[in-house]
Copies of this chain bind each other. A is one copy, B any other.
Amino acid sequence: MAKNENDRADYEMLDAYWRACNYLAAGMIYLTDNPLLQKPLKPEHIKNRLLGHWGASPGLSFSYVHMNRLINKYDLNAIFLAGPGHGAPGVLAPVYLEGTYSEIYPNKSEDKEGMRLFFKEFSFPGGIGSHCTPETPGSIHEGGELGYSLSHAFGAAFDNPDLIVTVVVGDGESETGPLATSWHSNKFLNPIRDGAVLPILHLNGYKINNPTILARIPHDELEHLLLGYGWKPYFVEGSEPMDMHGKMAATLEQCVLDIQDIQQSARANNDVSRPLWPMIVLRSPKGWTGPATVDGHKVEGYWRAHQVPLAAVKENPKHLQQLEEWLRSYRPEELFDDRGRLLPELKTLAPQGTRRMSANPHANGGLLRKSLRMTDFRDYAVPVDKPGRQEAENTRPLGCFLRDIMRLNKTNFRVFGPDENTSNKLDAIYQASKKTWMGGYLPEDEDGGELSPHGRVMEMLSEHTLEGWLEGYLLTGRHGFFSSYEAFVHIIDSMFNQHAKWLAISEEIPWRAPISSLNLLITSTVWRQDHNGFTHQDPGFLDVVVNKNPKVCRIYLPPDINSLLSVADHCLRSRNDINVIVADKQKHIQFLDMEAAIKHCTKGIGIWEWASNDQGQEPDAVMVGCGDVTTQEALAAISLLREFFADLKIRFINVVDLYKLTPESEHPHGLSDHDFDSLFTKDKPVIFNFHGYPWLIHRLAYRRSNHKNLHVRGYKEKGSINTPLELAIRNEIDRFSLAIDVINRVPRLQVAGAHAKERLRDMQIECSQYAYRHGVDQPEFAQWTWPD
């Protein structure tokens, strides 16, 4: 045959395979029986509830099967991310056809009964979801919440030089902010060291009820936009299937060749200039190959194709007939044998084994994950001869620890931060690795730029992109560490929510191997944002965290350097969790030597004997510190109280692991009631100085016996421009307020404490006045240390 005829035959096979996908996708939405249409279609074959999204599905399968062709042709190592994850039928269909689905879920076998169950259980209670959920083989991107496909794809490609991450980007999704900025990720991808991301921007033109912006701007504007984002766009546009197969096959192949050229040239010549990576704009009708019109209204190529194009098939015989015609238009009898098996000549179109995108181990990253090589965190300890005497920057030694871990793990560990790693005092990391930068360079970068195309520290002023990169990196089996300003972690609240949900489901899926935990350091915290003001004061991310499944959430508030190191070491070794570590970057008083810190962090909560004087007795009151500044102020309050009341018995407790406060039935780290009571007593006043919003502590501890005596201080939205101590005073977490709290709550001090209270209030006012007069805290108080 001539080449053209050869191609034509190839494309007809491709088309048949694609028809099989579309048939399955429609079947998933509609059928509960008669999967091969071997009988005339009857209402009883139709599901009671029609769910799922047809609109995006054909375009997703189209991209998938064309990628399959090239995987076979070039033996590519590729995975597939579906931005419009709600078009899951378009992904599940090829996954089923290439056999992976049946291997993992044997009752969804490759035969008629398996197909029937596969159809029935789609978007059905107890079955599988309508997005590319963790249950979907090959998925690392659910697409339930839109906007993160491209950043996930880049995360997967980093440090995977042989991988091609195919990612279908929806045109609806493209309107979201996170997606819009993530196109710039190409300024952080090194063609020598990293793999390739191949975006297919799928312009099917519509969202739920609206056209999409990118589909309705002129062609040249769209081309400008993508060139401006630094890509080389190829356009595949049309609707006639055979024509489109030809265009897509040629164009996708060109992209793969471009990628190979770029990589080979960069690697052969050690050329780290930023290439223009290829991408495809696929403009095809929404609901492609589905009903053109329904009841006289346009459906294919319009927003009406978004979900279920024919909604009343069970009740409306005309709709039922139209559905049958639609399904039969794929000619299932030419695709499957009468036992429901895909014909062997079609079967060969799929890649084999782990070359199948649904079986590629990169999409089940735990399989590839290697434990991080760790240095001994004890080596970074600050010596603490006596607790509470000297100050040091809490995050700086962590930077050294991360630096040395980076040195030991040159290909599977990255550090992420939105332009803040230096600000957050983690800059020692640059001694091991610079910041990844594939943008232009200037001479001044030599002095303090810390930039390199080979860098492994990821900095871009987009928390969304960083979080997406990190998630993609972890989901493909690697390790990472993300630090961010506390107030602005709220920017990624919803990404946290989605990742927590992914992890919670994944833990219940036996074939999903555990991945590294997502480690998030929250720093530049509220109590040292006295100078940046009110917008920068928000410790509320923890309130978002505690709503998610306790199986996968951990929160740590180490009070000083050595405890931070101990906690960080633990987190970096853990799997399948989201570890939130709260620790400020500024100078703070140090409390624990390394031995004490390890012991304390391992317990997660405990009495600090050296700060307590109730040994062997019931205390008059319990003082609790949770957080760095709040622990300091709580201890300062104790030292003040001792000056007034030498015989007052105060027990001091520090909480590192916040979930210790929850009942053991609610969280794996929760203390038993017995242990809780033995720490907090059953009836003594407890003054709890908390880093965050105070009511969070009540939410965690409301079931505890002594809850009625639990008095919590924390941030309560009082702040503009302050000094640190004045900010504490305004929110009543300061030493004076806490000491007064104790006096107010210890019965025998009700009268005897009057003078002390007056004196404490005077000191507090004096501090405030000093701050408002001099703009800084009174040195006497700012340099407080724990007394001998």
- Interface residues in chain A, defined as those with a beta carbon under 8 Å from any beta carbon in chain B: 32, 47-49, 51, 86, 123-131, 133, 142, 144-147, 172-173, 175-182, 184, 187, 207-213, 216-218, 221-230, 297-298, 301-304, 419-423, 435, 437, 439-442, 444-445, 447-451, 459-465, 487-488, 490-491, 493-494, 497-498, 501, 504-505, 531-536, 538, 540, 543-544, 546-549, 693, 695-696, 698-699, 702, 707, 717, 720-723, 726, 771-772, 774-776
Contacts and interface: CB of A to CB of B under 8 A. Distances in A.
A217 B699 contact: no
A309 to B, nearest CB: 14
A494 B695 CA distance: 19
A330 to B, nearest CB: 24
20 contacts: A123-B531, A130-B532, A133-B533, A175-B465, A177-B178, A177-B464, A180-B462, A207-B419, A208-B419, A210-B419, A210-B435, A211-B449, A212-B461, A221-B227, A221-B228, A493-B544, A501-B717, A538-B547, A543-B543, A547-B693
Contacts of A131: 532-533, 535
Given A177-B177, A227-B228, A440-B217, A459 B210 contact: yes
B125 A772 contact: yes
Given A176-B177, A181-B176, A439-B211, A721 B533 contact: no
Nearest to A218: B440
Contacts of A490: 493-494, 497, 544
Contacts of A444: 298, 301-302
A547 B717 CA distance: 8
Contact of A447 (B184, B298, B497): B298
Contacts of A720: 129, 133, 505
A181 B177 contact: yes
Contacts of A439: 211, 213, 216-217
Contacts of A695: 546, 699, 702
A210 B226 CA distance: 24
Contacts of A532: 86, 130-131, 144
A28 to B, nearest CB: 12
A448 B721 contact: no
A227 B230 contact: no
Nearest to A501: B534
B223 A172 contact: no
Contacts of A723: 125
A776 B48 contact: yes
A172 B228 contact: no
Contacts of A146: 461
B461 A175 contact: yes
Contact of A534 (B144, B222, B464): B144
B440 A216 contact: yes
B493 A721 contact: no
Contacts of A547: 538, 540, 543, 693, 717
Closest 8 CB pairs of A and B: A225-B228, A144-B535, A177-B177, A216-B439, A224-B228, A180-B181, A490-B494, A175-B461
A536 B143 CA distance: 11
Nearest to A205: B442
Contact of A208 (B302, B422, B464): B422
A533 B532 CA distance: 40
Given A130-B533, A144-B536, A207-B419, A172 B224 contact: no
A187 B213 contact: yes
Contact of A494 (B133, B213, B491): B491
Contact of A531 (B49, B213, B721): B49
A711 to B, nearest CB: 11
- Most chain B CB inside 10 Å of its own CB: which residue of A51, A182, A702: A702
A136 B495 CA distance: 33
A124 B497 CA distance: 37
Nearest to A494: B490
A128 B721 CA distance: 7
Contacts of A419: 172, 207-210
A538 B180 contact: no
A48 B775 contact: yes
